[in-house]
Structure 1
């Protein structure tokens, strides 16, 4: 019995696990990683079985699920394939949550049902070449022109842009006041003229990866604006809070799979006449990782509860992002060490966890920025 999980949620996990065991096994994951191919078949299977509608209200074809439901789904998905979990999270966060909370009725009707069915996929464009950790210093601009807006500039690390139908963009629409003011969010069709997408080769995340996007006089209608003009920074912060739940759940699921693989290996790999798991130095490594996994899972459940009850504060968001990102990175590193030379070989899966986990402490807000936020909330 999982702590704090209802019988309905246990049943949900069982269905998701059985589906992913069938459509997203380790051989499939390895193929996607090696060929740098998005897990489209697994994504479509999740859509056909209704899981992309988990958090959408019933009126849009969804199940009306809670943040806890979403965390459980993404943890199990991440346990099978982290990048599939990250693909799903972008749709849950930007195509569903953001539109439902901040969109017009027309935007909700036009977009959410397509996301629920898996017919529409989303990306998020915030980071730019000169604004990473200082995200609010963005300069890509949307200028009003009649009843339209014209977008010019460049976004960096817009993950999944090349397979997305829409991108939620944070754009500069005014230069008055603090840099956080004058930012607006737009839902932009990725196939519009003037959008150029370049895939960025990266250490990990090979199946979907990330992109650089250039906008040259891209014309969008005023109806593309999400929320109020010049007040988009609050929407960015809101969706990032939701993102942190999703990312953390998917990543701790992946960390758990790395742990499970290493544990099986330690029980069967013999050296000096006995399994390497019988040596105390190895046992202590697993004990440390077990504590990190259990702590991380408890933190995710707590954070989901805080979100459900409107109590999640900025510090809570930073704490969960920091701890789980660092735990995932550490666990993947230790598990590779347990595998020894085989962990370093590309034909074994541990190298993928090691490569993919390295992004956790960088993307979506670095660990250093999270510690700054935590310290600031303590009055330091």
Structure 2
């Protein structure tokens, strides 16, 4: 059903990705420094932006090179498997094109000339994590202006991005899903304050609590349609989850390849530890998991390219890959032994980072709930046809 052998063009792109990483001048020491300093690797992203990969997947009118999702996933994987970040503004441009005004699209594209990301997503709140119907942030109209109030939490790159998409809810609307509105807000606007939060991993993508205290905006700052924020929010869930699944795949590959090289070169009891059956068992299991993870990603990407719904497949890919990646990273630490548990080895850092993908973009539990519901619905529909 699926043919995933890379084309000649895809092979050339992946080779070019390797050449970029070899010659860009950014190494493990640089990324570790950014990680320890809790900052976005801006210098690297600036170099990536100047390369052909910085605009990969963008429409031509934005100076991009349109590619299908399978190609995008293959290139992303190439970066992730070498522990290089890979961030393109495809989804942000896509959102601004589809929902934003001309002025908002202009601001996004202008910001992306110097930034890796134009806006952060102000969705989660202290009382509203997976259950977005509990969002308590409000928009109040007064004297021809709109005033935003509320607290957002776990907002990734809020202090880095020049804008924030702030989600409010009409608390009087009987349908909580129908009362959400997105606002495109300058992150430096009066009334906005931020408080950094400390994470155990993913430290190069810092998070903040963000406080809105009577932040004054205009009606024209609505992003998309009023009361349509929830539908806009879920619009790109499928692409986001495929991308997260692909990141998990790359993290697993990096740890596997590191552990494999170590096992072949590390000697104990007079022989390489790769000759011991318990180590061989781990290496074989890691490889099986990685091959299965790659299929999950490419299947979902292929379906997306062919106009098929991937609501189930993208969810399953993220669920499976995030879980298996963490196990593969954990096995790699076990093979490396004490070295794997030190800051000398990047594997420990990747292990911490990989754990996040079971939370961000939809927790395991939320995905199981939504996928299970869709599977049951499809089976009920099939049975009713009899």
TM-score by length of 2: 0.90
Q: Aligned partners of 1:174, 1:63: CA distance in 2, in Å?
A: 43
Kindly indicate whether residue 192 of structure 2 is the aligned counterpart of residue 164 of structure 1. Answer: no
Corresponding residue for 2:77? 75
**Residue from 112, 115, 123 that aligns with 1:115:** 112
Equivalent residues of 2:128, 2:135 under 8 A apart: yes
Question: Which deviations, in whole Å up to 9, do the C-alpha atoms of 1:292-328 show, x marking residues without a partner?
Answer: 1111112111111222233123222221110111011
Aligned residues: 374
- Post-superposition Cα deviations, 1:6-41, rounded to whole Å, max 9, x if no partner, equal 222222222222222333322222222223232111
Question: CA distance change for structure 1 residues 78 and 142 in 2, over 3 Å: closer, same or farther?
Answer: farther
Structure 2: unaligned runs, 5 residues or longer: 378-386
**d(CA) in 2 for partners of 1:9 and 1:100?**
27
The C-alpha deviation readout for 1:305-360, integer Å capped at 9, x for no partner, is 22223312322222111011101111111111111111111222121012111111
Q: Find out whether 1:178 has 2:175 as its counterpart.
A: yes
**Residues 1-380 of structure 1: matches in 2 within 5 Å?**
3-21=4-22, 22-81=24-83, 84-85=85-86, 88=87, 91-93=89-91, 95-112=92-109, 114-115=111-112, 118=115, 121-145=118-142, 147-173=144-170, 175-379=172-376
The range that moved more, 63-72 or 185-194, is 63-72
Q: CA deviation at 1:114?
A: 4.2
Q: Distance in 1 between matches of 2:79 and 2:338?
A: 28
Provide the secondary structure at the position in 1 that maps to 2:259.
helix
Task: For residue 186 of structure 1, report the CA deviation from its aligned partner.
Answer: 2.2
The offset of 1:254, in angstroms, is 1.9
| Partner secondary structure for residue 176 of structure 2 | coil
Contact 1:282 1:338 in 2 (8 A): yes
Q: Is the 8 A contact 2:333 2:341 kept in 1?
A: yes
Structure 1: which 5+ runs fail to align? none
* Contact in 1 for aligned 2:155/2:210 (Cα 8 Å): yes
Kept after mapping to 2: 8 A contact 1:96/1:115:
no
Q: Which moved more, 1:260-269 or 1:64-73?
A: 64-73
User: Is the contact between residue 108 and residue 118 of structure 2 (CA under 8 Å) also seen in structure 1?
Assistant: no
Give 1:277 shift: 1.1
For 1:81 and 1:195, how far apart are their aligned partners in 2?
A: 34
Residues 298 and 216 of structure 1: is their aligned pair in 2 closer, same or farther, counting only changes over 3 Å?
Answer: same
Greater CA drift, 262-271 or 247-256: 247-256
Report the secondary structure of 2:152's partner residue.
Answer: strand
2:39–2:206: 8 Å Cα contact kept in structure 1?
no
> Does structure 1 retain, via aligned residues, the 8 Å contact 2:104–2:184?
no
| C-alpha separation in 2, matches of 1:312 and 1:57 | 22
Paired with 1:258 and 1:325, the residues of 2 have a C-alpha distance of 14
Please, which moves more after superposition, 179-188 or 69-78? 69-78
Question: 2 CA distance for matches of 1:97 and 1:74?
Answer: 18
Cα distance in 2 for residues equivalent to 1:283 and 1:178: 55
Aligned with 2:344: secondary structure? coil
**147 and 64 in structure 1: CA distance in 2 versus 1, 3 angstrom threshold:** farther
